[in-house]
Structure 1
Amino acid sequence: MLVKLSSGIYIGEAKVTDPISGKIRKLKHAVIHFGGNNSNIKGKTSDAPCRKCFNKHGDPGVTLTCSKCFQKGDMFSTYMYDVSFITFNTTTNGTCTTASCDEPDVVIKRAYGFLHNQNFGDYDLVFNNCEHFATACKTGKARCNQAALGFGVAGAIVYKAARRLRW
């Protein structure tokens, strides 16, 4: 069974502005995330805007949404940080890292920084995806173990080299 996972930063309460009326609404369970379906096709939207968070599903870049829009058919799971090397090598790629994460206030500040500045770059499934975004917020360094280790150790080495050449 193939499971689609999306990575984002749960921030709790947040305020969103209705683009039509200009009224501000408070969300109880908000998530900041990057990319998603159609995120590499600029300007393409797949659904009407959400009535709760006003998200236009499929908009490119870093977005703030309600947790329901973020989930959108995906399952929730916790990405684990600071795991042992043994745990890292025996779990599904893209679910954990040996890197330590920063304090929640630092993580949320980084996520809001990427949201307000829209400076996380263009979405790329292999080199700049939602896992890169979430790990950049949590650790200060963008990583994607799912892409890097999808083809074993050799794949991780090729991925690292290709990522460096790309920038």
Structure 2
Amino acid sequence: MGLEDYVKPGNHIFAERGVYDHHSIYVGKAKVTDPSSGKTRKLKYPVIHFGGNNSNIKGKASDAPCRKCFNKHGDPGVTLTCFHCFQKGNMFSTYRYDVSFITFNTTKNGTCTTASCDEPDVVIKRAYAFLHNQNFGDYSFFFNNCEHFATACKTGKARCNQAAMGFGVAGAIVCKTARRLRW
């Protein structure tokens, strides 16, 4: 069985990272360019995700670029990588949309939402637009993180339930209010 048996293009997926999860959009098809030779090749199982200089996508400074996707393990912003660089050997799951209010409030934060999502082609188009334009902003764990990015791709609105840090609806309201008040 391959990854395509578990996820479909346009899926919002997340990988466990201990106390938090790292979110991305699985895009299904991509080409990458080798920076040293300029040659392009098809990338198997590509994902687009978002992080900053100190984010969850950063590897060790001594890490060599990935041989599959040429990811440098520390590039900030929206990046396209192979699934292996995204997953880092950790368990992964598919984020769920259109869940009931009860499910939302009884499930681990950052794994689902009551919001509806758009069709896969729209989701993938948004993810590529953020990648090409690098216009998702600066990374912030609370106000602009990888879950904000993935939900923005899926719904057109950036949301993050994970940053509420387990405080349920009240925590989500506090985070949303704080996001609007920051300058």
TM over 0.5: yes
How far 1:104 moved relative to its partner? 0.3
Q: Does 1:156 align with 2:144?
A: no
1:109 corresponds, among 125, 147, 160, to 125
Farther off after superposition, 145-154 or 17-26: 145-154
Separation in 2, partners of 1:135, 1:89:
18
- Match of residue 49 from structure 2: 33
Residue 106 of structure 2, aligned match among 68, 87, 90: 90
> Which residue does 1:6 correspond to in 2?
22
Could you tell me the TM-score, scaled by structure 1's length?
0.90
Match of 1:145 among 161, 167, 170: 161
Contact 2:20–2:162 (CA under 8 A) maintained in structure 1:
no
Partners of 1:88 and 1:153 in 2: CA distance: 9
- Aligned residue type for 1:24: T
Is residue 166 of structure 1 aligned with residue 182 of structure 2? Answer: yes
- Tell me: CA distance 1:46–1:73, structure 2 relative to 1, closer, same or farther (3 Å): farther
**Counterpart among 127, 143, 148 of residue 132 in structure 1:** 148
- Taking a change above 3 Å as real, the CA distance of residues 151 and 4 of structure 1, as seen in their structure-2 partners, is closer
Matched, 1:74 2:90: yes
**In the alignment, is residue 17 of structure 1 matched against residue 22 of structure 2?**
no
Tell me by how many angstroms 1:6 deviates.
Answer: 1.0
1:79-109 CA-to-partner distances (Å, cap 9, x unmatched) read 0000011111111111000000100000000
1: CA distance, partners of 2:35 / 2:74 = 17
Aligned pair count reads: 164
Identity over aligned pairs, percent? 85
Structure 2 length as normaliser, TM-score?
Answer: 0.83
Structure 1 residue 62 and structure 2 residue 62: aligned?
A: no
C-alpha separation in 1, matches of 2:114 and 2:107:
12
SS in 1 for 2:172: helix
After TM superposition, where is structure 1 displaced by more than 3 Å over at least 4 residues in a row? none
Listed one character per residue, the Cα deviations across residues 55-99 of structure 1 (whole Å, up to 9, x for unaligned) are 011210000000001101332101000001111111111100000
- Listed as ranges, the gaps of 5+ residues in structure 1 are none
Quick check: 1:62–1:118 contact (8 Å CA) kept in 2?
A: yes
Residues 149 and 98 of structure 1, relative CA distance in 2, 3 Å threshold? farther
The one-letter code sitting in structure 2 at the alignment partner of 1:151 is: F
